[in-house]
């Protein structure tokens, strides 16, 4: 008998009517004689509401209590799903993460799952039950509830699938799958039938909101295929896998863009060994992620200009850290919030020459200036003015025949 993990996102369980529809989806798998484990997120909007309540209580709310507070959202949705499944004739119960338990390591609000005890869960499944497990959370060695980052329910589903040896892990969301680019940005975006883990990991880290990057990494490490599909329409979704079967010869798989990047340029830094480390060390200590980096050395070799990108929400803190940094000397500090990172992703570019030229030429023909460039084996990212992002996406989508 096939075992399947079904994970439902916040929009899928966003109302009582939607929860009833979710239970019909679960029932359809049970009627096919599948063993089913359900993972649920909190109802849409609930986690944000809880975050706002914590802010109203304190602007320095204790992180352990923050996790305890936010974890209640999934408890509500799981109880409602289990209650509805019982109502329509199925054996079911909700399972809180600490009742299994799902054990985690790492900091509050950013923990990672390291083990799941499935003994009782397997007994319940064997006896015909459908467990409904809270996503997004676990318990640490001090018996405190931890959360594993926003969209962490995906990670819960993938790790549960690993431990119970499920044949399939299906992520139900409000979109029909993964698209070549954001359909809201470009109407000719197409649904991707199959995508490699590495491509999906790049797309997720570069702005695609369908799945959390750490979840994709967990799936890749544990060789778990993921099917992303909509809970609102009965259509095939996107398979995220490492199997090379039935993949097309498409060079570029998708295009991602961001809206929350900021560019920082430090002009006239006195050049010496270790100067870049001196700049980035305080940022690292303050958990500020630095992305694209470009360094230009002056002709006399004495000064350098350093440009890098960060998330917009970290801009004020980054500015303060640089200005307070006594170990560096520079002439000018400038910032730009109105930038967007546009990236092309595809394993096909590893063996196909000329991709960089085609990308830059397509942008040049639209008179789009490139500010910063970053590359890896399967992606090329450019930083451009935010006002040109939609035009860039349309141009690249057409250039690489994704329309």
pLDDT category of residue 131 using cuts at 50, 70 and 90: very high
Q: Which residue has the tokens 């063996």?
A: 351
Domain chopping of the chain, boundaries: 3-174, 257-399
For residue range 314-333, list pLDDT tens digits in order: 999 999 999 999 888 899 99
Give the integer Cα–Cα distance in Å for 39 and 133: 5
Between helices 46-57 and 72-87, what is the axis angle to 10°?
A: 150
Q: pLDDT for 100-127, tens place per residue?
A: 999 999 999 999 999 999 999 999 999 9
What pLDDT is stored for residue 79 in this prediction?
98
Tens-place pLDDT, residues 192-201: 999 999 999 8
- pLDDT, residue 141, reads 95
Query: What integer pLDDT is reported at residue 134 of this predicted model?
Result: 98
Edge-to-edge order in the sheet of strand 226-230: 92-95, 130-134, 35-40, 3-8, 168-173, 226-230, 238-241, 194-196
- Domain formed by 257-399, architecture: 2-Layer Sandwich (3.30)
pLDDT tens digit sequence for 72-92: 999 999 999 999 999 999 999
Residue range 31-43: average pLDDT? 97
Please state the rounded mean pLDDT for residues 227-237: 92
Res 209: pLDDT: 72
Alpha-carbon torsion, ordered 265, 269, 275, 279, to 10 deg: -40
Its pTM stands at 0.83
**Structure token digits, residue 118:** 């499935």
Task: Report pLDDT for 245.
Answer: 62
Whether pLDDT at 205 is above 70: yes
Which element (helix H / strand E) includes 344? strand 332-345
Condensed to tens digits (0 to 9), the pLDDT of residues 255-298 reads: 999 888 999 999 998 878 888 899 999 999 998 999 999 888 76
Greater confidence (50 vs 250) lies with 50
CATH of 3-174, one of 3.20.20.150, 3.10.580.10, 3.30.1360.200, 3.40.1160.10: 3.40.1160.10
> Higher pLDDT residue, 216 or 56?
56
Query: Is residue 246's pLDDT more than 60?
Result: no
Are 197 and 334 contacting, i.e. CB atoms less than 8 angstroms apart? no
pLDDT of residue 214: 81
């Amino acid at each position: 008998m096939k075992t399947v993990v079904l994970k439902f996102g916040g929009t899928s369980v966003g109302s009582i009517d939607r929860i009833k529809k979710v239970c019909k989806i679960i029932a359809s798998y049970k009627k096919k004689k599948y063993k089913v484990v359900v993972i649920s997120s909190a109802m849409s909007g609930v986690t944000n509401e809880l975050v706002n309540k914590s802010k109203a209580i304190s602007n320095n709310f204790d992180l352990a209590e923050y996790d305890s507070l936010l974890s209640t959202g999934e408890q509500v949705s799981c109880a409602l799903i289990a209650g509805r499944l019982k109502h329509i004739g199925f054996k079911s119960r909700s399972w809180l993460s600490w009742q299994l338990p799902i054990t985690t390591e790492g900091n509050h609000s950013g923990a990672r799952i390291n083990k799941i005890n499935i003994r009782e869960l397997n007994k319940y499944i064997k006896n015909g039950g459908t467990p409904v497990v809270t996503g997004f959370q676990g318990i640490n060695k001090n018996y405190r509830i931890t959360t594993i980052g926003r969209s962490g329910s995906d990670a819960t589903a993938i790790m549960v699938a690993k431990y119970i040896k499920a044949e399939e892990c299906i992520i139900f969301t409000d979109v029909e799958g993964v698209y070549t680019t954001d359909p809201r940005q470009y109407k000719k975006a197409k649904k991707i039938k199959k995508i490699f883990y590495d491509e999906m990991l790049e797309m997720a880290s570069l702005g695609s909101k369908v799945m959390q990057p750490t979840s994709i990494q967990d799936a890749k490490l544990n060789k778990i295929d993921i099917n992303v599909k909509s809970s609102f329409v009965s259509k095939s979704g996107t398979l995220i896998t490492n199997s090379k079967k039935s993949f097309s010869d498409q060079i570029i798989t998708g295009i991602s863009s961001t809206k929350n990047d900021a560019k920082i340029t430090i002009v006239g830094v006195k050049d010496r060994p270790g100067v870049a480390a001196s700049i980035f060390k305080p940022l690292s200590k303050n958990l500020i992620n630095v992305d694209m980096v470009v360094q230009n050395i002056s002709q006399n070799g004495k000064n350098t200009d350093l440009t890098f990108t960060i998330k917009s929400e970290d801009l004020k803190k980054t500015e303060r850290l640089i200005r307070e940094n006594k170990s560096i000397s520079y002439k000018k500090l400038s910032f730009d919030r109105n930038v967007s990172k546009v990236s092309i992703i595809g394993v096909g570019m590893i063996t196909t020459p000329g991709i960089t030229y085609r990308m830059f030429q397509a942008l040049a023909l639209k008179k789009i200036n490139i500010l910063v460039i970053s590359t890896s084996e399967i992606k090329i990212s450019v930083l451009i003015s935010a006002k040109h992002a939609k035009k860039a996406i349309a141009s690249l989508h057409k250039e690489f025949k994704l329309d």
